[in-house]
């Protein structure tokens, strides 16, 4: 699980907040435009791109579709400025490209910007963006190194918290579990947004489970749901591999089921945990993921606990009640099957 910096509120600073000069400050004079008309045109395009990007940030609060349209318009204008633009234009263009699908070009432009102006105040954001790009490319070591470079020059609490959060994930992917735990704990300490702190607690939950401390893992997951229950489903959060989302949800349902004060709640919670473990194993088993053994053991536990809770309900002559948990629909997942499968698809008989 990684989070890229949210651009309005959320998890950190947007590119628009990072020291770009206002358009009027950079407007070329009449004589400068006459001497180099191409550079003057590039500057005009860059100014327009900045204005369009600022509008996309404002629109994000009301309409994601409008925001994305304005963002694409900003990208088109920034591309017009690329050939005759400064390193500042490269930083801006690289960030916009990193928000889209042309990730290879985004990395090329960002590295060019860093080569042209390595000491720019925009460099810290570029290193963050490169970390995200390396994560999506499956290069956890390059991702980790990029976040470390960003931490060397960043000072904003929200940005540093997000960097520690993501670096913790890249360390966990590499099997450096104690380092990952330290980074997640640091993200909890300095993060000043509920969503960031919740995500850090979810990271702690996964690490503690993989270190063999299930009680600590469930406690961390419980804290995450209390702080910001919908954080895993924010648009700024992504998982590499994608099926890891099921691991997070499964541990969360185990924590909620354990805390449930009724057999109805335990039956519901453990059934949903079984559903999430089954979904994880359906993809992780063919991929030969490292933590399949853990997931299989947890699935056996949740199925055993579900059956015990349903047996208790049967003795009391009760039906299973609707979910007692005040969680948003995305965490609840799809409707429960009438009988949860006991063996994941793709597992050996």
SS (H, E, C) 303-339: HHHHHHHHHHHHHHCCCCCCCCCCCCHHHHCCCCCCC
Considering the domain boundaries, does residue 68 fall inside one? yes
**Residues facing 2 on adjacent strands:** 238
Tokens of 339: 């009988």
Per-residue pLDDT at 209? 97
Q: How many domains does the chain have?
A: 2
Query: Is 159 within the bounds of a domain?
Result: no
Q: Which residues contact 231 (CB under 8 A, 6 or more apart)?
A: 194, 195, 198, 199, 202, 224, 237
Tokens for 104? 């290879």
Last residue of a domain, one of 126, 158, 190: 126
The last residue of a domain, from among 72, 91, 126: 126
The answer to whether residue 162 sits within a structural domain is no
User: Is 38 a domain residue?
Assistant: yes
Host domain of residue 38: 15-126
Is 213 a domain residue? no
Strand partners, 238: 2
Please state, in angstroms and rounded to a whole number, the distance separating the CA atoms of residues 200 and 133: 20
Q: Is 182 inside any structural domain?
A: no
User: From the CB of residue 346, how many other CB atoms can be counted at a distance below 10 Å?
Assistant: 13
Q: How far apart are CA 313 and CA 307, in angstroms?
A: 10
Q: What confidence score (pLDDT) does residue 318 get?
A: 61
| Interatomic CA distance for residues 80 and 62, integer angstroms | 28
User: Look-up: residue for tokens 């597992």?
Assistant: 347
Inter-residue contact 90 to 106 (CB < 8 Å): no
**pLDDT, position 206:** 97
Report how far residue 342's alpha carbon sits from residue 275's, in angstroms, rounded to the nearest whole number: 9
Is residue 151 in a domain?
A: no
Which H/E stretch holds residue 101?
none
Long-range own/partner contacts, residues 306-315 (CB < 8 A, 24 or more apart): 306/266, 306/267, 306/270, 306/271, 306/273, 306/274, 306/340, 308/266, 309/263, 309/264, 309/266, 309/267, 309/270, 310/263, 310/267, 312/263, 312/266, 313/263, 313/264, 313/267
Considering 100, 126, 152, which residue would you say is the last residue of a domain? 126
Domain presence at residue 297: yes
The dihedrals phi and psi of 2, each to the nearest 5 degrees, come to -125, 160
Instruction: Walk along the chain (349 residues) and give the pLDDT tens digit of each residue.
Output: 777 653 322 233 344 434 344 443 344 554 444 455 676 777 787 887 888 788 877 777 778 788 778 877 888 877 877 777 789 989 999 999 998 889 999 999 999 999 999 999 999 999 999 999 999 999 999 999 999 999 999 999 989 999 999 999 999 999 999 999 999 999 999 988 999 999 999 999 999 999 999 999 999 999 999 999 999 998 889 898 899 999 999 999 999 999 988 888 899 999 999 999 999 999 999 999 999 999 999 999 999 999 999 998 887 666 555 454 433 333 444 444 444 444 433 434 3
Q: Which of 13, 69, 38, 1 is nearest to 224 (CA)?
A: 1
- Rounded distance between C-alpha atoms, residue 214 and residue 206, angstroms: 9
Q: Model's pTM, two decimal places?
A: 0.79
Q: How far apart are CA 337 and CA 269, in angstroms?
A: 13
Strand partners, 237: 3
Q: Using CB atoms within 10 A of its CB, is residue 21 exposed (0-12), middle (13-18) or buried (19+)?
A: exposed
Residue in this structure with the two tokens 């490209």, named with its chain if needed = 97
């Amino acid at each position: 699980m990684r989070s890229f910096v949210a651009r309005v509120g959320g998890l950190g600073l947007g590119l628009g907040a990072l020291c770009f000069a206002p358009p009027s400050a950079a407007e070329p004079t009449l004589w400068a435009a006459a001497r180099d008309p191409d550079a003057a045109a590039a500057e005009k395009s860059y100014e327009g791109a900045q204005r369009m990007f600022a509008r996309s940030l404002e629109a994000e609060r009301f309409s994601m579709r409008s925001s994305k349209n304005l963002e694409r318009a900003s990208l088109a204008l920034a591309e017009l400025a690329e050939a005759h633009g400064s390193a500042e234009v490269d930083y801006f263009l690289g960030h916009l490209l990193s928000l889209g699908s042309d990730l290879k070009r985004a990395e090329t432009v960002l590295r060019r910007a860093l080569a042209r102006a390595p000491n720019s105040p925009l460099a810290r954001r570029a290193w963050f963006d490169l970390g995200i790009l390396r994560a999506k490319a499956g290069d956890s070591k390059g991702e980790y190194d990029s976040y470390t470079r960003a931490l060397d020059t960043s000072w904003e609490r929200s940005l540093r918290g997000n960097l520690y959060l993501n670096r913790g994930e890249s360390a966990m992917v590499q099997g450096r579990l104690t380092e990952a735990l330290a980074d997640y704990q640091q993200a909890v300490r300095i993060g000043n947004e509920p969503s960031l702190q919740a995500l850090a607690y979810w990271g702690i939950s996964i690490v503690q489970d993989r270190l063999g401390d299930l009680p600590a893992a469930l406690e961390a997951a419980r804290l995450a749901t209390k702080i910001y229950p919908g954080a895993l489903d924010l648009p700024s959060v992504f998982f590499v591999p994608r099926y890891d989302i099921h691991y997070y949800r499964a541990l969360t349902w185990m924590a909620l089921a354990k805390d449930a004060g009724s057999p109805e709640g335990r039956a519901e919670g453990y059934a949903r945990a079984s559903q999430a473990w089954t979904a994880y194993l359906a993809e992780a088993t063919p991929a030969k993921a490292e933590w399949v053994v853990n997931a299989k053991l947890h699935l056996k536990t949740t199925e055993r606990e579900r059956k015990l809770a349903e047996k208790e309900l049967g003795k009391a002559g009760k039906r299973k009640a609707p979910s007692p948990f005040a969680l948003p629909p995305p965490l609840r997942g799809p409707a429960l099957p009438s009988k949860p499968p006991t063996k994941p698809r793709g597992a050996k008989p």
